[in-house]
Structure 1
């Protein structure tokens, strides 16, 4: 059973506001073994990176200006993920951006190219209700070494998530319990319905935790957890 652990970095939090993908990374897990088959690419977003996003991942406008645009890398990405079960942490964030980029090119949505989409954040919440389930928290809970993670980066995050996901699903008869089928994944299209996109990507209330992709980093910079995130624990 082939899984692909996937992560993105972006210019900001909202595809509806015109933000774009700037990094995509994916790692293959075949029959519960992490292989050496890795996909990773930086992308020129053809727009500036928000300062807040830069503080999270450290990818600057200058670094990205000579990188290929998404249309030049999408074929390789789709070939890598084809027919796999994709695992993402806080999947709605990444799916929303990937669907937006695919739609711009007339290429449908992510669910058209994979068998299943699994949200490891949803799985973690089921396994550990009422506890913090950010990637950092899960690494600590499952004794996964994250010492190399000084900034958020798609490649290091996929490597960590692969280990965490295998630990979370150890002993399960099926890895598909948290899957979102193709039609559900398609409904997350981030470009044709800006109002539904805002619901997916905009951080407010409980959504602050769901969109922990960037909000985790804000928490990590403070010695006291922000009050607006406390009730999500």
Structure 2
């Protein structure tokens, strides 16, 4: 894989307050440049949700109402998040979820494409019994020594997903092959289905 051929790409992860639909409490975006996660230009935001964090969500990611009490509301940071995401490609694990939540919070946002590392993992490691982030970390053994925070925080999960994306991408010859395996139908960047030739 020639990583220099990749377009601008951000690995993203979001954490919510546990309601349905969720309010965001954390957004992380980590650029991948030249086949490496670029922590120096990564961004992450904590935000106080309109509705309280549920006890279950707080147990998962550790972001309690107390931790978020003095953080800015979404309206205060949404323009900065939108500006940073721009029109880059994004990648996420089970990307439907992150894309749907971010799109609900940023109605004007239009990424160039959406890579789903869950879909990519099923194509790359078809014999694995599970393709969760934890299962992939155990299987691929990415170097997470520089991962910030801890599992289930957006910054950690984005870093882990970036390392897994790079490891899986190395098994494909081109960006186009990667896209064909990793972009879910109906999401931005999905290859157009080949049209059946007709007589007319």
TM-score normalized with structure 1 length: 0.68
Deviations 1:184-206 (A, max 9, x none): 35xxxxxxxxxxxxxxxxxxxxx
Tell me: CA distance 1:151–1:184, structure 2 relative to 1, closer, same or farther (3 Å).
closer
Question: Which residue in the other structure is 2:14 paired with?
Answer: 8
SS at match of 2:44: strand
C-alpha contact (below 8 Å) 2:17/2:54 kept by paired residues? yes
Question: Which residue in the other structure is 2:140 paired with?
Answer: 142
Question: Which residue in the other structure is 1:26 paired with?
Answer: 29
Are residue 77 (structure 1) and residue 74 (structure 2) matched? no
When the two chains are superposed, the root-mean-square deviation of aligned CA atoms in Å is 2.0
- Pick from 113, 118, 127 the counterpart of residue 115 of structure 2: 118
Question: Which residue in the other structure is 2:61 paired with?
Answer: 57
Are residue 152 (structure 1) and residue 156 (structure 2) matched? no
Tell me: CA distance 1:95–1:13, structure 2 relative to 1, closer, same or farther (3 Å).
farther
C-alpha contact (below 8 Å) 1:139/1:146 kept by paired residues? no
Deviations 1:92-112 (A, max 9, x none): 11122112222xxxx33x4x2
CA distance in 1: counterparts of 2:49 and 2:151, whole angstroms? 20
For 1:210-225, list aligned pairs within 5 A: none
C-alpha contact (below 8 Å) 1:139/1:145 kept by paired residues? no
Structure 1 runs, 4 residues or longer, greater than 6 Å off: none
CA distance in 2: counterparts of 1:2 and 1:60, whole angstroms? 33
Q: What count of residue pairs does the alignment treat as equivalent?
A: 174
Question: Which residue in the other structure is 1:163 paired with?
Answer: 163
Question: Which residue in the other structure is 1:40 paired with?
Answer: 44
CA distance in 2: counterparts of 1:143 and 1:42, whole angstroms? 28
User: Offset of 1:146 from its aligned partner?
Assistant: 4.8
Deviations 1:67-125 (A, max 9, x none): 111121112112222121100101111122112222xxxx33x4x2x210111111111
SS at match of 1:132: coil
CA distance in 2: counterparts of 1:53 and 1:83, whole angstroms? 30
SS at match of 2:41: strand
Gaps of 5+ in 2: 1-6, 189-200
